[in-house]
Chain A
Amino acid sequence: MRYLTDRKRAEGLGASGSGTHHHWQMMVSSILLVPLVPLFIFTFGYGLGGTHEEVLAYFGRPFPALVMALSLIVITLHVMHEAKAAIEDYMHGVAGKLTLIFATAFSYTLIAAGLFAIARIAL
């Protein structure tokens, strides 16, 4: 242990890992939420409440389909990072690692399934 320099031992740990990237990522997606959250809430809210045919016709139009697809990607990835930060803070060891992997898999599955559904409705 004592043969390693202090710097060598600290490298790759804590904030010196990928903290700057994560921080910038959250800044960007946080700013993107400001136009996307209102667009998503009112687009989805307007789509909800119709018959099956009306819903298919509504999300078949370019604007609602694009808003839903963009929101699914940007908002889901943003809240995935949010959830992962919470897991990193409060869970440790193997359980923490497995939960991180689960959160990632869950989020990407949601995005893939949602995009598939929108494509199927719109195309």
Chain B
Amino acid sequence: MSILSGLGARARGLFSDTKGPWGPTGGDEPPPDDGGRGPWGEPPKRGRRSSPSPSGNIASFEEFLRRSKARFEGDGGGGGGFPGRPDRSIFMWALLALLLGWLVFTTFHSIAPEQRGVVTRFGRYYTTLGPGVSLTFPSPIDRVQKIDVENIRVENLPSQPDAMMLTGDQNILDIDYSVRWNIRDAELFLFELADPQETIRQVAESAMRAVIARVSLRDAMGDRRGEIEGQVMESVQRVLDGYRSGVLVQGVAIKRADPPEAVNAAFKEVSAAQQDAQRYVSQASAYAQQLTFKAEGEAGAFDKVYEQYKLAPDVTRRRMYYETMEEVLRRVDKTIIEAPGVMPYLPLPQPQKAQPPAEQGQ
């Protein structure tokens, strides 16, 4: 308890330093009635919440003066005798502890790495605290608002889920996109915009609409998405800077850019046509390749044969003739008719069966 009492004395010293803001209130307070109890009976200076209790046992004003005098020059920390009535004393201690805690709480500010602390002194912007532990004046003088500046917020747009956009070629685009942002200047963010989040959403919607209205449907759905995102991001940042919003746009992402449901079938037809087209061309290419190989093969074969043929044309020619004829006639049914003008009895399918032995030939 003696440690605590020493602390109390120190705390009292602290109060007299920072009396400024509460100074005017201190005087109205009646002193505690159990005199001679040492400094611990003293109510906190900012004690307007503690209503004075009926103070019947203060004999006179002189006694009050004497007592308070004794208290102020009294042996501060050495109060050996504790108040006889513990309820009162506990109340005082609690109040003191509360005061102390509140003081510590409002003067020391630990700012996390992703945070900034915006300090206002009597409402006026004073400074912005960086990460780490910082000291300010206690609460009614300085007020610290901690703001998470690093955290990246994501706004998913458009606000109405079924919203469409008109493209530059007067087509309709069903688009979903998001804007990522964080805070660049905490103080601007706090003080300049009435509703920062709603502002960002509205500005982003307007910027996206403006950019989409300049490009064609095909571009919006296809290759130029990245370019569109960049333009929107730049435009949103420019407008927000115009409001001095303290917001930094980290990025705009088009999550989906499709034709509206109502015309989806026609768009699918286009991709079907594209596949058909691919098929046509690849079929033709395959044909072309086959044909080329065939031609090259046949020509190559002819060339080889011709090379040999040139060496002995007559013999080769006869040889080839006989070989071919042999090959051909060996496998077919043959009829040799001697007399010119005598017609064979046709049709032949019937005699065919009997023919192989009938006539000969090689």
A binds B: no
Interface set of B (CB-CB < 8 Å, partner A): none
